Structure 1
């Protein structure tokens, strides 16, 4: 079996300390971590305890979020290594300046469609600070099933469109597919997916055959137990979303109305995550014909119940 060394990087976060994974025998590092000097020192020291940075040949990134991808270019430049990422997330790492500008425009349009008020939308965009990544730099773009240095890409979208877990000799590195402290955000963490919850639940099925996995934060976790917890969470959240629609004074409501019912007052990134999670659950219920969906004359997506009561033990999967 290939040796896989967990390297904790950066300070503690609500998700848990970031986990980079080193495969010293293969010259591979997965998810180098956030772009802070503390994280860089942790990463450099962790690698140096097992191999020289210059011996690294490949840097894998599970998804585009800065706490996983932030040090990818710095490490690759120092080591003379290649960066590998699923093609759907590659522009947000390799063509950062253009992709970020497109993302902000898309986020603003999506928030408006979800019914988020203008002042809140503006707070989301204004608080979105640029990351210290190069405007453009080379990355290698991959598809599901691609194998590099014995590391296999397993496309597991939902948290982001191009999220990919990676498999090494039967061990699965999960990125943010599963987390030890709470459920990953689905919907607001990447606004490119039409049915993010459906995609996410299908991704869980792709890793369910593994007994244990290594998450992108914290340490080894039981996949069966974690998937059961996540499914239970989303069943409860979907039922609460339906109840929010049924209880509303309006004939039909936007995802923002449901998010306010679920989470209360929100601003900045919390507004995007909250509205996105509500939108993801409503989109899934629309696919299952539990709610009806349409677009009003202002371009906002609205929902109303399509059934008299929420079905007991409803399966949210595709």
Structure 2
């Protein structure tokens, strides 16, 4: 684990995450300030090793799980929310999350089973071969405990204000990668900053389509979120992985341009091979996939295909098969 201290009352911890997208950035605010609640933004994944890392990091800053007053989650994914229930059990922290993700963090049985059923239906619709479905399900079963304990959650909505350490943070809903992904926007030391989770990342693009199959029109929702990030006029963003983004608006534009380029690549595949499934497009774009990427690859392909259908460029000639529209 590496740590990096930010000015004033904010500390960044980078916690090990070998299961998904690399090291997780978790942020601690308000420690040592008796007037401010001690707050974590995200928690890391629920493994004994990561729990020990976070306990040590907090101890080094003079605090502990039991002393955390509130946890602000950027979204429900296990590598961001996994330890929320454990921390809450130690000290009764209030756990905040957007209302669209609240049931997932609380591990409501209907929400979890509904997600699983939707995902299973998509695997068939995307044309994923049986052996790859088995590989993906084995991976998910092996990592089933990473969501940790359920948490008692307090739902947030877009536009709410919540205290983040000694700062007032605006809740900004940025769906796409996850249905309930939010940024927490603050004014700090004369700068506009935001804790953005996986809305934008500094080194790669967040998965859209596979990471949360509950999101309808995932690519369009994500493009809208990128435009909203640009309009926030942030001086700096603190993402859920790796280090800070020093030009968030430019990074949002770069990611949008990346998706425009990917759309053209998807169209090239349809022109060359159509009608095609999402799995065929995924194979052309990404090649052989393993672990969680077996889900993310065709999910991303589906997000682009679905968007092109809504734009009238493609038609779904039969369920899960995409071809150029006559007008295109």
Normalised by the shorter chain, which TM-score bucket? 0.7 to 0.9
Partners of 2:93 and 2:176 lie apart in 1 by 28
Distance 1:101 1:122, change over 3 A: farther
Partner of 1:313: none
Q: Does 1:156 align with 2:174?
A: yes
Residue 310 of structure 2: which of 279, 283, 287 is its match?
Answer: 287
Shift of 1:38: 3.0
Distance 1:67 1:92, change over 3 A: same
Deviations 1:107-133 (A, max 9, x none): 110111122233322332232121254
Q: Does 1:184 align with 2:206?
A: yes
Partners of 1:262 and 1:9 lie apart in 2 by 30
Q: CA RMSD in A?
A: 2.3
Shift of 1:201: 1.1
TM-score by length of 1: 0.87
For structure 2, the 5+ residue unaligned runs are 1-6, 31-35
* Residue pair 1:255, 1:282 contacting (<8 A) in 2 also: yes
For structure 1, the 5+ residue unaligned runs are 310-318
Partners of 2:300 and 2:147 lie apart in 1 by 28
Partner of 1:316: none
Partners of 2:239 and 2:291 lie apart in 1 by 27
* Residue pair 1:15, 1:182 contacting (<8 A) in 2 also: no
Q: Does 1:66 align with 2:85?
A: no
Distance 1:238 1:307, change over 3 A: farther
Listed as ranges, the matches of 1:115-194 within 5 Å are 115-129=127-141, 130-133=144-147, 136-149=150-163, 150-169=168-187, 170-194=192-216
* Residue pair 2:78, 2:146 contacting (<8 A) in 1 also: no
Q: Which moved more, 1:184-193 or 1:15-24?
A: 15-24
Partner of 1:239: 264
Shift of 1:307: 6.5
Deviations 1:74-106 (A, max 9, x none): 112222211111111111110255433332221
* Residue pair 2:45, 2:147 contacting (<8 A) in 1 also: no
Shift of 1:31: 0.4
Partners of 2:254 and 2:18 lie apart in 1 by 23
Residue 274 of structure 1: which of 285, 293, 297 is its match?
Answer: 297
Aligned residues: 303
Shift of 1:51: 4.4
Residue 216 of structure 1: which of 232, 240, 251 is its match?
Answer: 240
TM-score by length of 2: 0.84
Listed as ranges, the matches of 1:76-115 within 5 Å are 76-95=88-107, 97-115=109-127
SS at 1:26's partner residue? coil
Distance 1:55 1:196, change over 3 A: same
